[in-house]
Amino acid sequence: MSLQHLLAEEFGTLPALIHAHAQRAPAQPALIMDEQQLDFAALDLLMDRVAVGLQRDGLVPGETIAILAATSLAYAATYLGALRAGVAVAPLPLSSSSESLVDMLADCGAKLVFVDADAARLLDQAGRPSAARRIALDASGAENSLAQWLPPPDLHPAPVAPAPDATFNIIYSSGTTGTPKGIVHANSMRWAHVRRGDVFGYGPGAVTLVSTPLYSNTSLVSFLPGIALGGTVVLMARFDAAKFLALSERWRVTHAMLVPVQYARILAVPDFDRFDLSSYVVKFCTSAPFSAALKAEVLRRWPGGLIEYYGLTEGGGTCVLVAHQFPDKLHTVGKPFPEHDIRLIGEDGKEVAPGEVGEVVGHSRVAMMSGYHNLPDKSAEALWVDPSGKPFIRTGDVGRFDADGFLILLDRKKDMIISGGFNVYPSDLEAVLRQHPDVADGAVVGVPSEQWGETPVGFVVRAEGSSADAEQIRAWANLRLGKTQRLSAVELVDALPRSGIGKVLKRELRERYVSSR
């Protein structure tokens, strides 16, 4: 079946698309990393070998493997090969603790875990074994190597036709609010993500640069359409701003998904303007608050369009801001994507009136998680159901729509500070802090207060060379803040704790402050 016919199907699979590309353009580079490449023919063959190996080891459709490693060609091929066998993938976050990782392995039920040397050492630190058998992607010698495990290249896997509702992957949340939950995505959800890729220019001529970890949904939203629609994907094991620019120029990159802190670091590279970035068609951003000022700087200095996605790994609905088309809406996260229903609800569980603030909830016909793995109660808690019975996923974010239907985010509901009975949004305070000439970065959290219930505390990273003290910065900010918003303290820190995809770990800041008192 031709590529066009495959994409026209209401449901299909990524492995079938990659096989079609291997027939259409076998010598075209599919994956590039450093000086190594896999063309589509080689990738298709390696996926077959992975699938045969899984079937030989007794894994059947619906079962799960885990991958815990830094990004590599072997990582990507193993992921895609598992899908060819109808086996779900749990890409585990290297940023998690060893204890949490062992818990995740048990939760997802993985029979095999593909690791690299660093990951193997991390698992060993847990002090308790996992039932999953280890395969070393990097031939580190600590366990069976992938090269030893793979069957001969002349074997082909038994054909598998996965159901649309079968599990594609289990993505574990970052754990910024507690124990990570396994977010289950069905094949149909990922197929919908791939099919809409052509709207954004993915296709055989696209070159996608992936610089965030493959365990992150942020990466997969770009990686999957990049490879599935016949383009070339350039992988980075770890992000480096100068290297990102060099790779963009070398490979004539057209697409990239970045988080806001990456944009800031790239634009801060001293010789940014000497790199030829004219090949860019569009750049994407998601996963963390993206300031209007930073969006404007990207538009001014970096060729190509800029699109911001707003949504959850859990799915439920996406807003899209086409920033280059709406430069006057950079303070928003855009409008709901077609066929995505985004609403706002109040504390009483009812929709708020137009223009009022409420929690963001979303529904999509296909872009909805199947639920949290092994957590039916948590899955139910994540839903809000409208009077007609239509399910929406609760985001935990607070926002409002402007008169033109663009969504303005205010804060995470859990991060909102209630001080003296007033709602205080940390993002408002952070925006003021970042205007201070001596502040390079900042975050605000609420901490317990006998007088007010909660009170805001700022954490500040000073600009290079600055000698401003915490009290000077606090006084400066409080002159510009409302009476109920004023910071009770400012703490100077060398860096803000962040997750693997750049989210500030506010729980860590809050716990650090409270424990020091």
385-441 tens-digit pLDDT = 999 999 999 998 999 999 999 999 987 777 888 887 677 888 889 989 999 999 999
Condensed to tens digits (0 to 9), the pLDDT of residues 298-349 reads 999 999 999 999 999 999 999 999 999 999 999 999 999 999 999 999 989 9
Distance CA 303, CA 279 (A): 8
- Percent helix, percent strand, percent coil in the chain, to nearest 5: 35, 25, 40
Are 3-19+37-187 and 311-412 the same fold in CATH?
Answer: no
Q: How confident is the model at residue 474 (pLDDT cuts 50, 70, 90)?
A: very high
Q: From CA 357, how far away is CA 470, in angstroms rounded?
A: 33
Q: What is the band of 170 on the pLDDT scale with cuts at 50, 70, 90?
A: very high
Instruction: Report how far residue 63's alpha carbon sits from residue 49's, in angstroms, rounded to the nearest whole number.
Output: 18
Residue 176 is predicted with a pLDDT of 41
Q: How many CB atoms lie within 10 A of CB 52?
A: 22
Report the half-sphere exposure of 138 (CA within 13 A, side-chain side).
15
- What value does the mean pLDDT take over residues 204-222? 95
- Tell me if the domain spanning 311-412 has CATH number 2.30.38.10: yes
How many alpha carbons lie under 13 Å from residue 104 in its C-beta half-sphere? 31
Query: What does the pLDDT average to over 273-294?
Result: 94
According to CATH, the topology of domain 416-515 is GMP Synthetase; Chain A, domain 3 (3.30.300)
Reading the block at residue 406, the tokens are: 């663009």
**DSSP helix/strand/coil, 500:** coil
Q: Find where tokens 């996260």 sit.
A: 333
Domain locations along the chain: 3-19+37-187, 311-412, 416-515
Cα gap 382→177, rounded to integer Å: 14
- What CATH number has the domain spanning 3-19+37-187? 3.40.50.980
Return d(Cα 360, Cα 349) in angstroms, integer: 11
pTM as predicted: 0.86
pLDDT given for residue 175 in this prediction:
47
Q: Copy the structure tokens of residue 89.
A: 């993938």
